[in-house]
Structure 1
Amino acid sequence: MGIWGSHLYSVQPEKLDELIENSLRPYEECQRQIHDTVNAICAILQETEQSPPTISVVKGGSYGRETMLRGNSDGTIVIFVSDFEQFQDQKKKQDEILTKLWLCLTECQFTRKMPAKMEVQKSPSGLTLQLSTRSQNIMFKVLPAYNALGLSEKPTPQTYRELRRALDMTKAHPGEFSVCFTELQQRFFHNHPRKLKDLILLVKYWYQQCQERLKGLSHLPVYALELLTVYAWEQGCRAENFDMAEGIRTVLGLIRQQEQLCIYWIVNYNFENETVRNILLSQLKSPRPVILDPADPTNNVSKDKACWQLLKQEALSWLSSLSPSQSPGSSWNVLPVPLFATPGHRLDKFIKDFLQPNKQFLDQITVAVKFIREFLQKNCFRHSRTKVQKTVEGGSTGKGTALKTGSDADLVVFTDSLKSYTSQKNERCCIIKEIHTQLVACQREKEFEVQFEISKWKAPRVLSFSLKSKVLNESVNFDVLPAFNALGQLNSGSPPSPKVYADLIDLYKSSDAVGGEFSTCFTELQRKFVVSRPTKLKDLIRLVKHWYRQCERKLKRKGSLPPKYALELLTIYSWEQGSGAENFDTAEGFRTVLELITKYRQLCVFWTVNYNFEDETVRNFLLTQIQRTRPVILDPADPTGDVGGGDRWCWHLLAKEATEWLSSFCFTDGTGYPVQSWKVPIVQTPGSCGMGIQPLVNEMFAVRSPRTLEWSF
């Protein structure tokens, strides 16, 4: 392994790609010699009369998955034998078949010249074939198997029913017949990028170093670590090119949380068939860690708890070496158990464990934001007549719906120089320059308990900074936004004057202003609308936002998704109309939100807490808004802000994801049966909001949307 072998823990993060290329990937020439030899052997096994009647030969293990380390590695050569007509035959006739294979390979060893040196060994534990070149050695297990897939590319539920029956009849251990699904395992890895396989090499090499350091470390299938790495990449990155240090930090971070690991895929099996569902439910209820083979639901590849405990300590050590400073270093936001695998009755615990921010970090953020707000109010425009009237914290942290990692927030600065919506649009650039100057000064003056980083100033419309924990992988990203104080001195409990909205509507109708462009002026109202809600509803919002993030990561290249704010409002609407209780079933609420998303083409949602139909200008405008192309979801603080957006965003992509998720484990109770959703109207009308306006208006609205009493079930 060259100089790297004894100094892995001292490798700098930026040198990890170099380590992989120079020391971990097999040499191309050695790979070619191995490949040519394996292909020749496979051809012999299929063509020679001494070999058992063979349907096909498949290459598996690290060799088949293209995750071989330089030096010593493993592989499997799986021979699908026509004599095996069911899973049980593998146990009944295996010795006879192995003897035939051994005779065939031994003759090949002594009579055929191969590019790589080959050595065949037969023992009570099985048949192995060792191939060696100048700097590569691969130990292949030669395994006869039942062709469970037949001519199909994917298994049917019947295949897994037969597998379950065979395990029971033969009293085989779970996963014993997983070799029958080698093609599926191989295909699963071939669909992932080369750099992910390089990350797998790094993880496997780290495991080798652990084995050398801990002589008593019991054997953990490297397949478990390979699958864990794939999971980390799928959940946290999905990019073909990524930062290798971030990737390895993420995988080691998951190993640290091995007591909670529960990972599976539904690419080859799912919950629809009763037999498979029962297998999955049994596996997912078993002690953690759980990492299921994506090809075989009976095969939990991560059962050795003692080994995981030792690896946890080693992971802590290497994480420290990768992040020598106090900062933990950046990693992907990946949870040890996916939301999809979390049953409905455990969603509250999922939110508490993985989505709610750390209280100490929130307290630090509160102190830092308070200081920054006071600093800006005191120091901005000291040498001019312009004064900062107030600063308001909005976004997720202001509303109390922040997620543990990477939440967003707004810091809205109201100045007396912005005397209208138009002046906000025209003069914000100059104000942002002044705010930027003062933020830099604030950064120099105060030592915060969190890291205070100002982003490079690119756009004149917005200024950003982030506050990051020095010890936790938690952060909040802030946008600083200057705004016109349209609300003036807002009286507690009183809605704004209708004139505020009439002026906004007149500007919107007479100019090129975009709907919602001045929503920052109403940040206090947006915040108040959410802050007063029960804690559990805010947790449901966190859950929906976490789900949205996963969709966003998966769909970001396919189209522009609707804003998170639309889903926050939809969640509040679902609760108001369907529950209204401070304590409710989270799975039922989550299901209701997703069902409403699937019905986006009919959605019409609005509130009358800050504006209503009493003022003529506002009334006429609202009637126009709620007859727009669906979905319509009006910002309760700004009637020009339709965050539903009609055809503006790709709701169809989100609806497709929601439809798939409705069959997830999230919407099952402890016994595996589905939970129900709340009864919520899809369409609101002025009448349904208690607005007693003339029947003619309701009739006009009914012409546009006749299905006014549709419900979500």
Structure 2
Amino acid sequence: MWALKSYNCECCGSDFVSCTALKYHFQQKHLGKVHCEKCGQEVLREKLQDHNKSTHDRSTMETHRLHWENLEERNIKHMATKISKTCRMCSRHFGTVLSRENHEIQEHHFTASKRAQMSTGFSPHNMLECKGSQELQRFADKKIRPASGSQSAACVAEISALLQLIQGCFPVPASRVIQGGSYVKGTDTQGCSEIDIVLLSEVFASVNHRKKPLREGLETLRENLKRTSHGNRILMGKRTPLSLRFNFLCTESLHCHSFEIMAYYDVLGPTPSTDLKLHLYRKLYLCNDSDEAQLCALALLPYQVDFVKASVMRVKELIRLMIHWFKTSFANTTKENKFRRLPSSYTVELLTIYIWERAEKPLFFSLVQGMRAVLKLLVRYAEIDVVWHRHYHPKFPIFVKVNQKHTRPFILDPANPTVNVCDTCNAWDEVAHVARLSLLKPLFRGVRAEPPWLFTNDWTCKVA
């Protein structure tokens, strides 16, 4: 039997049995059209400019102005991890930070000059170019501090409505809802607002193998949210085993909030006893399953939030500046160092609060002096050793064991004695390098320590 000859359209790949059919198809579907270089879609030549404005100008705004790319770069959670001992180039894990650093030098030729090249990336019009406190304050008010007034009220109303929607779309009843993230703590910045939601349901307490029903519940929530009237303003992130991540666009103010939703059962309850909390600490310390430890630690989220929220407004302003510094002073991660992890926002919050406490908790202070103090400490990151005892006694056995084998930098989670939040970073040497260069910028030129920041005079560091 003879094979039937086909005529192929070069524009779309469709096959036709005759040349006449192919010509008719081309005239109807492709004549007068060109391919958009940005998305590949075919549009009429005279409509190409309108297509770019309506599709790609909006897409660019959503990607850059609204920071929807944060979905793929959500900060590492403050839980027990081994990131600090993981190679930033190939993700291989080592027993010590020193052995990891030796591996990076020998296998990846990660020299000091290469580190400088891959770490530094000051954005144009960086706040470090400000000259003096007043100019920095104006910069912060205009570009870092979140909106206030009617815009803020509209935002609060929309998020509150979305939270109700999330509870209604979750397939099982939630006995309690815990909220966290920078938005709840008051440390969010323009274009960087994180909201963590934990849905607690007793349904999961009676399940022996909880991970599967948890995943199924979050997947159902994902599909239900997409079908709601808010679905066109929800951009879903990549699927993760234990959480649902998406960005939600506020219509009134054209900015977005980065959501992360997790679910578990109420391990502690709303008013736990001291013994119950100590029991949870022991469970976290002995747990060999990192996923299970992460889920159990969700019960401690309210205490972590309260610790940061208790800071005065001026400290939260300083936290915002430091978070902005991390976002605008480092080079973007590349394929070569795609496993590099900078400190989490929670680590930055705790480090800033520690510096404020070292200054004896002033209610009002210079933001320039505060930033300078934090940066000088980051240069000497190997000396960071911070512990709070608000939720556990210094002689508590779990704390004693963790403290005996800790490595620096060390910031113990004030609500969880089993977690060093500095372990979420494997690039402290890069942080120190960028901090050292930042201290040379115009903002700090000629600035000397003033009360109550005189203790930083003992932190001598070569900034050349």
Q: TM bucket by the smaller chain?
A: 0.5 to 0.7
Change (3 A) 1:561 1:415: same
Query: Structure 2: how far apart are the matches of 1:363 and 1:327?
Result: 27
Aligned to 1:508: 285
Secondary structure of 1:375's partner? helix
CA-atom RMSD, angstroms? 3.8
Deviation at 1:17, TM superposition (A): 9.7
**Aligned 8 A contact 1:552 1:561 in 2:** no
Query: Structure 2: how far apart are the matches of 1:485 and 1:471?
Result: 35
Change (3 A) 1:336 1:474: farther
Query: Structure 1: how far apart are the matches of 2:439 and 2:61?
Result: 36
Change (3 A) 1:351 1:490: farther
Aligned to 1:588: 369
Query: Structure 2: how far apart are the matches of 1:477 and 1:497?
Result: 33
Q: Which whole-Å deviations, capped at 9, do the CAs of 1:46-72 have from their partners, x for residues lacking one? A: xxxxxxxxxxxxxxxxxxxxxxxxxxx
Q: Which whole-Å deviations, capped at 9, do the CAs of 1:402-439 have from their partners, x for residues lacking one? A: 1211433211111113439x96xx42442343244345
Aligned to 1:341: 129
Query: Structure 2: how far apart are the matches of 1:435 and 1:711?
Result: 51
Secondary structure of 1:638's partner? coil
Secondary structure of 2:270's partner? coil
Change (3 A) 1:439 1:358: farther
Residue number among 399, 409, 413 corresponding to 1:622 in the alignment: 399
Deviation at 1:528, TM superposition (A): 1.1
Deviation at 1:592, TM superposition (A): 0.9
Change (3 A) 1:16 1:370: closer
Aligned to 2:344: 563
Give 1:549's aligned amino acid: K
Query: Structure 2: how far apart are the matches of 1:348 and 1:579?
Result: 23
Give 1:387's aligned amino acid: P
Deviation at 1:582, TM superposition (A): 2.2
Could you tell me the TM-score, scaled by structure 1's length?
0.45
Secondary structure of 1:331's partner? helix
State whether structure 2 residue 327 is matched by structure 1 residue 549.
yes
Q: Which whole-Å deviations, capped at 9, do the CAs of 1:358-394 have from their partners, x for residues lacking one? A: 235543442233223323434534xxxx531122221
Query: Structure 2: how far apart are the matches of 1:525 and 1:570?
Result: 17
**Rg larger in 1 or in 2?**
1
Unaligned runs of 5+ in 1: 1-10, 19-244, 246-316, 683-709
**Percent identity over paired residues:** 21
Secondary structure of 2:320's partner? helix
Give 1:395's aligned amino acid: G
Aligned to 2:429: 652
Aligned to 1:487: 268
Residue number among 388, 391, 403 corresponding to 2:189 in the alignment: 403
Change (3 A) 1:469 1:510: closer
**Aligned 8 A contact 1:551 1:654 in 2:** no
**Aligned 8 A contact 1:570 1:593 in 2:** yes
Query: Structure 2: how far apart are the matches of 1:12 and 1:663?
Result: 51
**Aligned 8 A contact 1:606 1:633 in 2:** yes
Alignment of 1:351-366 (within 5 A): 351-359=140-148, 360=150, 362-366=152-156
Deviation at 1:523, TM superposition (A): 1.4
Change (3 A) 1:433 1:552: farther
State whether structure 2 residue 149 is matched by structure 1 residue 368.
no
Give 1:417's aligned amino acid: V
State whether structure 2 residue 330 is matched by structure 1 residue 540.
no
Query: Structure 1: how far apart are the matches of 2:289 and 2:218?
Result: 27
Give 1:330's aligned amino acid: T
**Aligned 8 A contact 1:609 1:636 in 2:** yes
Query: Structure 1: how far apart are the matches of 2:358 and 2:389?
Result: 14
Deviation at 1:651, TM superposition (A): 0.8
Give 1:380's aligned amino acid: F
Aligned to 2:170: 380
Residue number among 224, 237, 242 corresponding to 1:441 in the alignment: 224
State whether structure 2 residue 447 is matched by structure 1 residue 674.
yes
Secondary structure of 1:584's partner? coil
Aligned to 2:357: 576
Give 1:377's aligned amino acid: Q
Deviation at 1:400, TM superposition (A): 1.0
More strand by share: 1
**Aligned 8 A contact 2:411 2:421 in 1:** yes
- How many residues are treated as equivalent by the alignment? 357
Unaligned runs of 5+ in 2: 1-32, 41-48, 68-121
Change (3 A) 1:430 1:522: same
Change (3 A) 1:12 1:394: farther
Using CA pairs below 8 Å that are at least 6 residues apart, which structure has the higher relative contact order?
2
Secondary structure of 1:352's partner? helix
State whether structure 2 residue 133 is matched by structure 1 residue 350.
no
